[in-house]
Amino acid sequence: MSAINGGDVSEAQVGPKPRRRWLRRLFWLAVFVLVFPIVQVMALRFIDPPFSSFMTIRQFQAWGSGDFGFRIAHDWRDLDQMSPNVPVALIAAEDQRFADHAGFDMQAIEKARDSNERGRRIRGGSTITQQTAKNLFLWSGAGWTRWLRKALETWYTFWMELFWPKTRILEMYANFAEFGDGVYGAQAAARTWFHKDASRLTATEAARLAAVLPNPKRYSVAKPGPYVQRRTRAIQRQMRYIGGAGALRDVEGEQ
C-alpha cells in the first residue's frame, strides 16, 4: 500500500506504456493492410464477385442524396459468354500492350508524363490491371486519399498479375467497368443501351461502349456526341490494327 501511495509502482505493475500499445496496433494494422489484399486477390481468382467497391460507393451516394429508388445495373458474364468484340475493344481503347506488360506499362507512363509536362490534355498511363484494381477494390479519391488509393492500387496490381491469368483480369474489367451512371459491366451496358445480350454486340457497339471510358458520366453511349463518335471510329481502327480476335489469342498465350 505504501509503495503505491508513494508512487513507487513498477512498469510491470501498471502494464505497457500507451506508446507501445499504439505501436503494436499500428504494426498489426500495417500487417492487415498488406495481407488482406493478397487474401482478396487469391479468393477472387476463383470466385465471381457480385459487386465492386465502386458499385457500393455509388449506391450509398444515391441513398445519401435521398434517391432511394436508384438501382445499380449489373449482371455478371464470363468472358466466353461475351462477344469477342467486347474484350478486343477494351484492349484497343485502354491498354494495347495488355498482353505484354506485368501490370505497369512504363512506356505509357512516360508518354503520359511527357504529354502532361508539355501542357497538353491530361492523360493517364493506367493499365487495365490497375483500373480493375481500382474499380473492384478501391475508390477514386482526391488529395491525400487519392495518393493512398494509388499506393494500394499498386499493391493490388502486383498480386493480381501474380495470381490471376490475363484472361481473368480482362474478365473482371469487362464486368466492372462503368459504362454509364450506375451501369456496370458489358452485359448490363448491352441490355441498357442496345437491348441485347453482350454475346451479340457488334464491333461498332463494343467500340462505342469503350469510347465512353474512362468518363461515362460525361460521355453517353445512348446519345454519342462528336467526341464519342470520333473515338468509336478510332477504336474500331485500332481493333483491326491489333488483329481483332487475334489479340485475345495473344492474351491467352500469356497464361
Q: What are the structural domain ranges in the chain? A: 1-44, 50-252
SS (H, E, C) 60-128: HHHHHCCCCCCCCEECCCCHHHCCCHHHHHHHHHHCCCCCCCCCCCHHHHHHHHHHHHCCCCCCCCCCH
Output the average pLDDT for the chain. 90
Distance CA 2, CA 12 (A): 17
The pLDDT tens digits for 61-79 are 999 999 999 999 999 999 9
Mean pLDDT of all residues in 148-157: 96
Out of 1.10.3810.10, 3.30.2130.10, 2.60.120.260, 3.40.50.300, select the CATH number for domain 50-252: 1.10.3810.10
Under the banding of pLDDT at 50, 70 and 90, the label for residue 15 is low
Grid look-up 494494422 returns 29
Please provide the DSSP assignment of 188-221 as one string.
HHIIIIISS-GGG--HHHHHHHHHTTT-TTTS-S
Distance CA 229, CA 221 (A): 10
Tell me, what's the pLDDT at 123?
54
CA 138, distance to chain mean position in Å, is: 8
Tell me, what's the pLDDT at 99?
93
